[in-house]
Homo-oligomer: A and B are copies of this chain.
Amino acid sequence: MFKTVEWKNSSVVMIDQRLLPGAEVYRKYTDYKGVARAIKDMVVRGAPAIGVAAAMGVALGASKIKAKDFKAFKKEFAKVAGLLASTRPTAVNLFWAIERMSRVAAENKGLPIPELKKRLVEEAKEIHRDDIEINRRIGRHGGRLLKSPSTVLTHCNAGALATAGYGTALGVIRGAIEAGKKIKVFADETRPFLQGSRLTAWELKKDKIDVTLITDSMAGYMMKKGLIDAVVVGADRIAANGDVANKIGTYSVALLAREHKIPFYVAAPLSTIDLKIKHGDNIPIEERDSSEVTHIRGKRIAPQGVKVRNPAFDVTPNPLVTAIITERGVVRRPYIKGLKGLFRKG
């Protein structure tokens, strides 16, 4: 099986997701600026995977800091953290991971610098290990919600490629299958970046999970024909009220699901929940380069100079969300209470 992101011999190794499914290429980063560029350019994507990559980027940057005391170290550390935090605005896991690394640095300021650097590398590795374990828990909780047999629609890729491994939305599907349920999957191709056709179809096929690829525009048709029993998606940021920012197009899928009385589940770790943001309208939405819409695999598909909008995410209002599946259990309406409660469980 592939590894999405890995700490290996003092470097960060990531599968280049831009080249999938055509080629399985691993890129090695020995410099935090390279990791930042890789996040920005979507070598790695998916909220939890971005978090892990950012933590490793921080560890990598920290390990190269030439400083004799904590004060000097801290100044350089802030530059590293700042650059990594500037890569992508929507997925909150990025900021969560950088904050966790910063906290560990602050808490261990008494250590000799070489020890502190080791401690930060250990923390990044722990974030990586934790993420896989968290996904398995999401999978167990969420797997119970799916009927057997059933067909699940997913949008974008919230799989092993979007996390340290196993996946959130695809973790729920894997959890159900591991519990002995018969699950088939419909994958939206997810324009413009095609995470569904390039990544979800690829990793599910690798896992021998029954997957059928459709364009985003076909989800409504499939629901109307009674072919979809549930929708499961991941999330890039969940507001305190349960509004969910996720890959562009998720909102349409949620609306279609409600129209067809199909449950719409969101699977995400606690690190995706941002209690500081009250309402989905306040979640910053990244707008990416127009070439993602006008070109596919380097080929132009639209006229020269055409105006383009390219928001990478949308917000699904909480009334459309049947349940949010986390590593600490399943939360339903009212989300304000339920989501807050999760953080007290620990």
Contact = CB atoms under 8 A, between A and B. Distances in A.
Q: Is the interface of A mostly helix, strand, loop or mixed?
A: mixed
Contact of A212 (B21, B205, B255, B307): B307
A1 interface: no
Interface stretch (A26-34, A290-298, A328-336): A290-298
Interface residues of A, number: 55
B297 A296 contact: yes
Contacts of A212: 306-309
A64 B211 CA distance: 49
B296 A251 contact: no
A214 B188 CA distance: 17
Nearest to A201: B306
Contacts of A302: 21, 189, 197-198, 201-202, 213
A209 B248 CA distance: 26
Nearest to A313: B221
Interface of A: 21-22, 186, 188-192, 194, 197-198, 201-202, 205, 210-222, 224, 247-249, 251-252, 255-256, 259, 293-294, 296-297, 299-311, 314-315
Given A215-B310, A219-B252, A297-B299, 19 more contacts: A22-B300, A188-B217, A189-B302, A190-B217, A197-B293, A197-B306, A202-B302, A211-B306, A211-B307, A212-B307, A215-B293, A217-B249, A218-B309, A222-B309, A252-B252, A255-B256, A296-B296, A296-B299, A297-B301
